[in-house]
Amino acid sequence: MQNLSSSPNDVEKSLNDLPKARFWEILDICQWEGFWFEPGLVKPAAIFKSNFQARDDDVILASTIKTGTTWLKALSLCIMEKDHKTFANSHNHDDILTKESPHYYVPTIESMIYSTKTPHVDLYYTSAPRLLHTHLPYAVLPDSVRNSACKIVYIARNPKDTVISMWHFFNSLFGRNQEPFPLDKAVDCFCSGVHLYGPFFEHVVEYWQESQKRPKKILFIKYEELKSDPKGLVSKIAEFMGRPFADEGEVDDVLWRCSLERLKNLEVNKNGFTVFPVPNKSYFRKGEVGDWKNYLTPQMEEQINKISRIKLEPFGLFL
Ligand code: PAP
């Protein structure tokens, strides 16, 4: 890990000295605090780390990339709504999810607030409780997030499905009219940890360990559990956030509003951008558990299993 000062100005000055790499032959990335970022995101991340003041009633969602962030944002938004209205029958137009992408309402702090001079959310004036998200690793979170009473919900996903989701996402984002990036190279890159917000394994383990130490502070959920027991998990998230559902009808309603099929087919998610240059539609694909079986060779599967055995399983984490 780099032993560099985290003051934003020092970080900016030392940007050129940070280790650099090329991600998938498309993007330059650099390593800060042990993780890989686009260079333009390092200063915003450092500002977040040093300036952000958490409030006790904040709810912070956290994840590395392609592990279910969009789903968690939509679900949390519905859970945090003051009164759990029921929308399933006729009031589609009242549902804020039909008006903007979940990424608009639950901004990723480092990339949507501190990286622009004109963020659409003003952290100081946003009414409480604030619902925010970060892709940053646990060690980089501001002290106020770690030490205040604010709650963190982290979503993790099976690494093989994560890599396949990443592969589709970056191919569609950067590979227009080109051959997809070779999957074996994408798997090598994922396993080496030299990719955006990587290494995946360290990112997940840090939050996992912290959630074990402080279960009232950090709720660690798995994408696969959300798929296999959506009612149970969503009720658990709501209770953790201090907003339990009144009855099963409310749970069903939230799950319906946030279902992949529904969100994917809303006009607002079929068109436009919330975070340029990422089209809103690129956040929604298949949403299946085990899709990796359609793509990975036995060698690639073993390559990822091996690193999971080394980096996750000794901590009691099985993804
Ligand atoms: P991000 O890190 O760029 O924000 P993120 O939302 O974490 O992306 O991941 C996208 C994955 O979540 C996609 O998985 P796939 O490639 O395996 O299909 C996407 O389909 C899935 N996803 C998005 N919304 C939902 C949803 N409402 N329910 C289930 N899965 C979803």
285 lines ligand 1 (CB under 6 A): yes
**Domain extent for 277:** 54-315
Q: Is the per-residue pLDDT at 91 higher than 70?
A: no
Residue 18 lies in a domain: no
286 lines ligand 1 (CB under 6 A): yes
Distance 270 CA to ligand 1 centre (A): 14
> Collapsing DSSP states into helix, strand and coil, what is residue 132?
strand
- Is 93 tagged catalytic? no
Q: Which pLDDT band holds residue 12 (cuts at 50, 70, 90)?
A: confident
Q: Is the per-residue pLDDT at 111 higher than 90?
A: no
Q: Out of 84, 103, 135, 195, which one is annotated catalytic?
A: 135
Residue 204 lies in a domain: yes
Tokens, residue 109: 């702090």
pLDDT of residue 33: 94
Residue 117 lies in a domain: yes
Q: Which pLDDT band holds residue 1 (cuts at 50, 70, 90)?
A: very low
75 lines ligand 1 (CB under 6 A): no
Distance 303 CA to ligand 1 centre (A): 24
Q: Is the per-residue pLDDT at 4 higher than 50?
A: no
Contact indicator for 54, 150 with CB cutoff of 8 Å: yes
What percent of the chain has a predicted confidence (pLDDT) above 90? 79
Query: What is d(CA 294, CA 291) in angstroms, rounded to the nearest whole number?
Result: 6
Q: Is the per-residue pLDDT at 162 higher than 90?
A: yes
Q: Which pLDDT band holds residue 176 (cuts at 50, 70, 90)?
A: low
263 lines ligand 1 (CB under 6 A): yes
Residue 199 Cα to chain centre, angstroms: 14
Residue 20 lies in a domain: no
pLDDT of residue 285: 97
Residue 23 lies in a domain: no
> C-alpha angle 251/319/154, rounded to 5°?
50
Query: Which of 51-60, 105-114, 298-307 shows the lowest mean pLDDT across its residues?
Result: 105-114
More confident residue, 86 or 77: 77
More confident residue, 183 or 113: 183
Distance 138 CA to ligand 1 centre (A): 21
70 lines ligand 1 (CB under 6 A): yes
Residue 176 lies in a domain: yes
Q: Which pLDDT band holds residue 2 (cuts at 50, 70, 90)?
A: very low
Residue 33 lies in a domain: no
CATH number for the domain that contains residue 295:
3.40.50.300
Split into its structural domains, the chain has a count of 1
Number of residues that this document lists for the chain: 319
Distance 13 CA to ligand 1 centre (A): 36
Q: Mean per-residue pLDDT for 97-105?
A: 94
Q: Which atom of ligand 1 is nearest to the CA of 226?
A: 29
Q: Which pLDDT band holds residue 67 (cuts at 50, 70, 90)?
A: very high
How much is the mean pLDDT over the chain?
91
